[in-house]
A and B are shown apart, each in its own frame.
Chain A
């Protein structure tokens, strides 16, 4: 552990830091163990009936039923179906938005900017409800189209930032060799911008995958609704907590693997790829202090994110 902020620790300071670290681990483990034990302890409710603890076998025996796993699998497929279609549409909409936003004519640029600002400032849930009620599309298409429009707007902004960060010479060179403005954009500017922004786009797709759970609220039977509503309704409320934990684990597995892909792509095609491009100077993860302070770099959308 070396840092420019303080002198290199001597043997005493190192020993102290190690001791605190061990105490910290013990403390965290103790709190976790206490929580797990407290949840596992049988509870007596007000009327004197004793409920078994949350880790009791009677709360978990449903999972030996193949049918339960089949339903959960159906939920996962429904979630992925919504996320997949919405992701493809979001990419298409994002490309259209980025072209509209960088168009030469003011008559295209200004309305696009207004629409983008409007869409980005609205909750996705409100958009889902709006599409569901106004166009009466059914919950699946309401969810897909709202997610596609919202995430398309954010991807569009990312692509625009990518296009604008390119050196002017790229466009000028394209025009100079006789390509039309549109061909220049498609064959020269856009591929570079897309590559530059790929980590942000994938991070946004993780957000999209997470947001499919909003369709739960309008009644689409995806993983969340199947896992924490339909199945507990059928098998009894005492399984609610068990189902919740399983659903959480499935979501984490899906999202973490997609995040991992995002990080992998960020490492491969991050700021250093394409040396012509000047990456945003401040918040880039390749910064030296990152390693000094022991953090690791992520290529995530950061502030764009938690919708």
Chain B
């Protein structure tokens, strides 16, 4: 236990970086995911095809491989910002298709009768989308989206193996110094992860209960 308390500053530093990774790559993945989802449902066939291929390829590539590309091959191709930025890029790219799929399933989850009703009372395309479809789709999208961010939180640990100093990296460093207290240290790291993931999970459950569309 004292090993955790002594090294608390290191843990907090790692926790800060984990939150930073989560926030930056979360925003990035959200933006990229919205673009991919929009391409995916667009009426133009070539955009749809491109987005589909992108989703399939990225979703079936292991995260370790994506981060390896960012950490070793991008510098090799003479693009070398700090490792933190490279990790944000990798996590953003890896998470974006999952965001896009969550968004798309939300939009697809709105019953077609809603759109038909909106059109038949004379709303235009923009009106039916913004007054009828989107308000329902957004509610249904939030819980799966939070699940994606919970997964992203856990995935930031992989960045710790590629020279980024976050929680997992902090844990590894402290374990190297204090080999006698491995269990306490790793439990401490797990505790910090659970702070984020359980909070997000609670929010998801709360939101789900509150905004669920009753049918």
Q: Which A residues are closer than 8 A to B by beta carbons?
A: 1, 3-6, 17, 20-22, 24-25, 28, 39, 43, 117-118, 120-126, 129-130, 133-134, 206, 210-214, 216-217, 224, 228, 240-241, 244, 247-248, 251-252, 255-256, 259, 281-285, 287-290, 292-296, 298, 300, 302-307
Q: Do the beta carbons of B112 and A217 come within 8 Å of each other?
A: no
Which residues of B have CB within 8 Å of A25?
46
Q: Which of A124, A224, A283 contacts B105 (CB 8 A)?
A: A283
Give the distance to chain A from B59, nearest Cβ to Cβ, in Å.
8
State whether the Cβ of B17 lies closer than 8 Å to any Cβ in chain A.
Answer: no
Nearest Cβ in chain A — how far from B209, in angstroms? 14
| Interchain CB contact under 8 A, A6 and B111 | no
**Per-residue 0/1 for B140-172: is the Cβ within 8 Å of any A Cβ (1 yes, 0 no)?**
100111011011101111101100000010011
**Would A122 and B193 count as touching, CB distance under 8 A?**
yes
Contact across chains for A289 and B73 when beta carbons are under 8 A apart: no
Query: At the interface, yes or no: B47 with Cβ under 8 Å from chain A?
Result: yes
Interface status of B183 (Cβ within 8 A of chain A): yes
Of the candidates B62, B78, B129, B193, which one forms a contact with A121 in the assembled complex, judged by CB atoms under 8 Å apart?
Answer: B193
Q: Contact: B143 with A303, CB < 8 Å?
A: yes
B102 at the interface (CB under 8 A from A): yes
Write the B89-108 contact mask toward A (1 if CB under 8 angstroms, else 0): 00000110010011011111
**Interchain nearest-CB distance for A251 vs B (Å):** 6
Q: Which of B18-55 contact A (CB under 8 A)?
A: 40-41, 43-48, 50, 52
**Chain B minimum-CB-distance residue to A290:** B108
B63 on the A face (CB < 8 A): yes
A224 vs B101: C-alpha distance when bound (angstroms): 27
- For the A-B complex, the count of residue pairs with Cβ-Cβ distances under 8 Å equals 204
Which residues of chain B in 185-199 are interfacial with respect to chain A, using CB atoms and an 8 Å cutoff? 186, 189-190, 193-194, 197-198
A117 and B154 alpha carbons, distance in the complex (Å): 14
Q: Are B144 and A302 in contact (CB under 8 A)?
A: yes
Provided the pairs A5-B119, A211-B62, A287-B109 are in contact, do residues A306 and B172 lie with their beta carbons within 8 angstroms? no
The residue on B at minimum CB distance from A124 is: B154
Interface pair A307/B151, CB less than 8 Å apart: yes
Whether the Cβ atoms of B129 and A5 lie closer than 8 Å is yes
Contact partner, A288, options B111, B156, B213, Cβ 8 Å: B111
Can you give 7 A-B contacts (C-beta < 8 A)? A123-B157, A126-B186, A129-B168, A224-B68, A283-B105, A283-B106, A289-B108
Known: A126-B190, A256-B56, A304-B147. A133 touches B46 (CB 8 A): no
Please give me the residue from chain B that is nearest to A150 by CB atom.
B154
B64 touches A134 (CB 8 A): no
* Shortest beta-carbon distance from B80 to chain A in Å: 12
B65 proximity list for chain A (CB < 8 A):
213, 224, 228, 244, 247-248, 251
CB within 8 A of B152: which of A1, A124, A247, A306? A306
Shortest Cβ distance from residue A298 to the other chain B in the assembled complex, whole angstroms: 8
Report the nearest B residue to A133, measured CB to CB: B182
Which B residues are in CB contact (< 8 Å) with A255?
A: 60-61
Residues of B within 8 A of A129 (CB): 168, 171-172, 175, 186
Cβ–Cβ < 8 Å partners of B106 in chain A: 283
